[in-house]
Structures are given as C-alpha cells and as structure tokens.
Structure 1
C-alpha cells in the first residue's frame, strides 16, 4: 500500500500516458483496491473542508442530485450510481487519455502530419490535469447554489471530485479503461450503500408534550414512491398528520404556507404529528418548526 501510494504521488508530479511494467491479475487487483482506499482517505479529508463550508458559511443545497435519485428503489439507485454513471463519466472524461482511443486528435493527425500527436506528447501533463478539473467542475451541478461565495469557494467544494478525477485517471492509464470504470463503480457502490443504510435519515425534530407529539426527519434519498400528506380528523379537530417522503414545498403548499423559502425547498421529509388534546393551530405549529430547519 505504501509503495503504491508513493508511486501514485510520483505520477502526479509528472503524469505519463504509458507504463513499461506488466502486471499480473493479482497485482492489478491489489493496485485497484489500494488506490480506492487511498482515494477514500483523501476524499474524507477533503470532505471535512466541504463540511466546514456547509456548517459555517452557507448551506450547500444538493437539490438536483436529490431529484435524480428520489422516489426510486434502493436497487435502482445502486444500478444508476454504480453502473450507468461510472460508464458514462469514464467514457467522457478518461477514455481519450489513451491516445489510441483519442479519435479527435487522430483525425487531426491525418491532416497535420502528426502535429496533433506532437502536441499531445508535449502537453500531456496539462491534458491529464485538465480532464480531472473538468470532471470535478461538472459536479458543481450537484448543487443549486448560485451565490457569489459559492463560486469563489468552488475549488474547495469540488476538491473531493478532483481527487477522484486524479485517482481514476491514474487507474485508467495504468490498468485500462474498464478498470477505471470498475473503480468508479466500486467507489459509488460503497458511497451510496453507506448513504442508504446509515445516512439516509436525519432527525430534525422530536418533541413530546402533554398536548401533542411531533417528529420530523429529513431524507437524503427519498426511497420508493412518496405517500401524500394524510390528515386524520374527528369533526373539525385534527387528530394526526402523517407525511412520508414528501418535499418541504409540497407539505408547505398543503398546509397553506405563505413563506416563500418553504414553498421553494425540495428537501424530502417525514412528519408524524399526534394531537393529544384539542389544539387547533396544528398547521402553524408544523410550519414554524419547518422554518427552524429550512430557512
């Protein structure tokens, strides 16, 4: 592991397209898993910076990503994240790093007497880093933020993806295109499996009084189809309100909210409200609680 990490950092000092050594299958698997582990270690460190930005400067809103995976079964999410996305992204951002697969440069070579190849060899280091940077920059679309500070801090926000672009580029050149797809797929498989199993639900409110009980949880991934807000009444009295996998804006609309912040928020939530006595301002109570967490 230590030797592999050292070789990787040496490679980053002067990226090259070709490697002279021949690796056996066992050595290839060892290299793959060692770089995957190194990737996770570096990404965890870089994610600490992203978390500080999210906690202390401004909220990083990942609405587009949530919309993509919401209301899907866990199996469907894994198929997209671990198979389809890696294949597409590796095809776009790293297939061309091997000159034999770079059909654009080869096309220009046919008309420029191999000047495109000379340019490629001379500037390969820049091309390699440009591919990693472009890969990272596309992940800015994971967020819906548009404030100026977001773009100023963009290099720090996409640092985890930049690290991924570098490690995946190394594996693509060292082992081949499909090994890069495999590593990308394994990375996403582990990441999304952990998210689904352990990080999917965050408790926002859990209040129990003599008058009522209210529990609100936030969903990172809205698994399966949502259930519309259900209100149970005895006459005019609201006995309970149940919400499963609905967006804040959907709930706010049903509860007749006027707060535009809530009416635009796409975070997914569960709500369990039980009326123990005879309080009649239930909608206001729930909306006020939502305002505390979704400003």
Structure 2
C-alpha cells in the first residue's frame, strides 16, 4: 500500500504517461483498493473545510423540479457521467498515434506536466458550476469547495494513465456509487429533520435524495401571515420557500422535502422560517 501511494505521489510531482507494468495478477486490485481508501481519508479531511466555507459564506445549489428517480439517477451518475467526464478531461492524457499530426511525441512528453495539471485544474473549475453563488468571496474560497474534486482529478488521472481508460471510468463510477450510498444513508439516519408536537403546532420535515413527481403534493391553508395546514411531498425546498414567501426572496441550498404541518390557531410564517433556518441553509437574496 505504501509503495502504491509513493508511486502516486511521484506521479503528482513528476507526471508522465508511462503505463504501469503489472508483475502480479492482483496489482490492479491493490491499486484500486489503496487509492479508494486514500480518497476516503482525503474526504474525511476535506469535509470539515467545506463546512467551514459554508459557515463563512453559505453556498447554494438548485434541485431539479422534474423526476430524479433513483434507478435513472444512479445509471447516469455511475455510468454515463463518469464516461463523459473521463473522455473530456482525461482521455488525451495518453499519447495516441494520430496525435502526431498535431504534436510530436517528444514535445507532448516535454509539456506533459502542464497538460496534466491543466486537466486537473479544469476538472475542478467545472465543478464550481454546481453552485449558484456569484459573490467575490465565493470564488476566493472556491478552491476549498472543489478541493476534493482536485484530488479526484489527480487520482483519476493516475489510474487513467497507469492502468487505462476503462479502469479510470470504472473507478469513477464506483466512487460515485459509494458517495450516493453514503448520502442516502445519512439522509435516512437524520430523518425526520424536524419533529415538533405541542399545543401550537404539529410539524414533521423529512428530506429525500431523489424526487418522484407521481407522489408530488403541495397543499397549503393560510390566512395572511399565518399557516394552518401545510402538506408538501416531493418538492424542492426552494419552490416551497418561493410559494410561501414570494419568488426570489431567498437563496436556498436545496433539498427535496416532505412537510406535514398542522396548527389549529395558526402558525406564523416567520416562525416557520426560523425553524427551517435551523436545519437548512437559507439566506435573504441580495439584489
């Protein structure tokens, strides 16, 4: 394991497009497992930094208002997205014969370091577009937000070059499967996000990883600034906020949510917003 990590570090410092020669049948599986564990360790280190960024300058994402059923989402995330991204960002990291019409092999190798680093940088930069922020501080802290993607770029590039394109595609897909399984487990463990039962209100809020529009429901009974009944299933939180408080008044780090709320006397919208802010990232939208 240590030798594999040393070889990976040597690749990061002194990149080359040399293929790994396997002397043992289990070499590739050892590379896979070692780098997978390495990425898990890096994820554990980077996540606190990303939470720090969220504290300093909240980041926002937007959920689709269409179906995101689990089976289709997983096929896309595990098969098609890795294939497309590997082709765009890493296919060219191995010299091909037809490249000679554009660049000689010698020139390619002399400039390989910058080719690889540019690939990793562009891969990380592309993931900044997953967020909706547009302020200066966000872009200043952006390197922390995509730090895990930069590490991904180095690891995937190493596997693509040393083992081959199919192996980096497979590794990327397996990693995505691991991440989405981890997210799904966390969501199951933290549900319900909010559960309150008292004389003023009965409230339960759950989050979902995917959306099924055949189950979608949005019902609200209100009077001025008071809510008496709110029943939401399979809606993005941003749409719920826009419906209750007016469009574009708030920025939301989005989730698919289910809300069941009843209040015989009426519950103020401001009080509900305060409850939502305890568990979700919601900030006033500054024009």
TM-score calculated relative to the size of structure 2 = 0.84
Q: How does 1:32-43 map to 2 (within 5 A)?
A: 32-43=32-43
Counterpart CA distance in 2 for 1:249 and 1:270 is 13
Counterpart CA distance in 2 for 1:239 and 1:79 is 41
Counterpart CA distance in 1 for 2:19 and 2:71 is 38
Give the C-alpha shift of residue 24 in structure 1. Answer: 4.2
Give unpaired runs (5+ residues) of structure 2. none
1:228 correspondence with 2:217:
yes
Counterpart CA distance in 1 for 2:143 and 2:107 is 28
Aligned to 1:60, what secondary structure does the other structure show?
A: coil
1:258–1:181 distance in 2 versus 1, CA, 3 Å: closer
- How many pairs were matched up? 276
Counterpart CA distance in 2 for 1:269 and 1:250 is 10
Give the C-alpha shift of residue 80 in structure 1. Answer: 0.8
Structure 2 residue aligned with 1:279: 265
What is the aligned counterpart of 2:239 among 250, 253, 261?
250
1:23–1:140 distance in 2 versus 1, CA, 3 Å: farther
Deviations along 1:20-74, whole A, 9 cap, x unmatched?
63344421122112112212212321222111111x20112122xx329x63221
Structure 2 residue aligned with 1:94: 90
What is the aligned counterpart of 2:152 among 135, 141, 164?
164
Give unpaired runs (5+ residues) of structure 1. none
CA contact (8 A) 1:206 1:214 kept: yes
State the structure with more CA Rg.
1
Counterpart CA distance in 2 for 1:92 and 1:15 is 19
- Measured on the aligned residues, the alpha-carbon RMSD in Å equals 2.8
CA contact (8 A) 1:250 1:263 kept: no
Counterpart CA distance in 2 for 1:80 and 1:21 is 32
Q: How does 1:122-201 map to 2 (within 5 A)?
A: 122-199=110-187
Q: How does 1:80-119 map to 2 (within 5 A)?
A: 80-100=76-96, 103=98, 105-109=99-103, 114=104, 117-119=105-107
Deviations along 1:161-211, whole A, 9 cap, x unmatched?
000000110011111000000100110011012212333666553222113
Counterpart CA distance in 2 for 1:86 and 1:20 is 22
TM-score calculated relative to the size of structure 1 = 0.82
Counterpart CA distance in 2 for 1:60 and 1:238 is 29
1:123–1:202 distance in 2 versus 1, CA, 3 Å: farther
CA contact (8 A) 1:72 1:223 kept: yes
1:14 correspondence with 2:14:
yes
